[in-house]
Amino acid sequence: MSKLKFIVLFFVIYSGFLSMSGQDRYMLAPVPKLVIEKDGLPQKPTLQQQQTVSVYDYAHMLTDAERKKLQEKISKYNDSTSTQIVIATIKKLNDDISLYATEWAHKWGIGQKNKGNGIFILISRDDHKITIRTGYGVEHLLTDALSRRIIERDIIPYFKQGKFYEGLNAALDTIQKILSGEFTNDTSDSESWPFWAVFLFIFFMIIIIALVFGNSSGSSGSSSGGGPIIYTSSGSSSSWGSSSGSSSFGGGFSGGFGGGGFGGGGATGSW
């Protein structure tokens, strides 16, 4: 009877952990420091950073609460569709923002390689410019004309008022409506579980097996158990950017960037 109680208790506790896992995934993770490499483009985030961050607010245009909301919206959409959306803000860029953002998104490989379903939104704060770049697989849906319309109707009116979160949130809503139903998430549930949840499951299963087999082998009388730096067109660079945020969990993409490609689709605007 005690063995049965232990097993029941384990599944009750573990169910509680799993119910919390969805919420923990969306806890705010720190933005990694911006590092520009020799090619003039930002260093690709580590796999852990890709899995925990999808809003790279290097220019500090958003509050932690606002970044968390955007992060959660992007992550939930990725969970249900596999489409990867990344937002980045920088202070200033002495270069063509459209070309730079396309090269940036292509280098990071936003989206899945076999689907090209990545979208990259880059804002240059001091230049008052914003661009939306689309991966190969979404260009036929999120066309250049629609990207321009999102910038002009959803983003710029809010940005002119200094409401950066509201503009980005409205843009995400429109983008998700446009792409709705185009892609389905082909990642298995086990791959999207947080690492700690998988570890706890394996750990408790080992304990249960040890208890069951330990008691069976000891039935004769004994028992046992187990218990930025931003590149400029002239070749010079300026240094800025630091970590921000709070908790170490995140709401990026469970498998990281998938190697999606970008060919120059999208639109750019100013406010």
> Does residue 202 form part of some domain?
no
> Does residue 158 form part of some domain?
yes
Task: Give 213-217 contacts, CB < 8 A, sequence gap 24+.
Answer: 215/3
Range of the domain at 41: 2-189+230-270
pLDDT digits (tens, 9 = 90+) for 17-69: 555 444 455 678 889 999 999 999 999 999 999 999 999 999 999 999 999 99
The whole-angstrom separation of Cα 28 and Cα 62 is 13
> Does residue 216 form part of some domain?
no
Average pLDDT, the chain: 79
> Does residue 45 form part of some domain?
yes
The whole-angstrom separation of Cα 67 and Cα 106 is 23
Report the first-to-last Cα separation within the chain, whole angstroms.
70
> Does residue 235 form part of some domain?
yes
Give the best-scoring range by mean pLDDT among 94-98, 179-183, 219-223: 94-98
Helix extents (H) in 114-253 = 144-150, 156-159, 164-179, 189-192, 195-217
We report the CATH number of the domain holding residue 17 as 3.10.310.50
How many domains are there within the chain? Answer: 1
pLDDT digits (tens, 9 = 90+) for 71-127: 999 999 998 888 999 999 999 998 899 999 999 999 999 999 889 999 999 999 999
Centre a 10 Å sphere on the Cβ of residue 160 and count the other Cβ atoms it contains.
Answer: 11
pLDDT digits (tens, 9 = 90+) for 2-19: 666 656 565 555 555 555
Q: What is the DSSP letter of 122?
A: E
> Does residue 215 form part of some domain?
no
> Does residue 171 form part of some domain?
yes
The whole-angstrom separation of Cα 17 and Cα 45 is 28
Phi, psi of 9 (to 5 degrees): -60, -40
> Does residue 195 form part of some domain?
no
3-state secondary structure of 97: helix
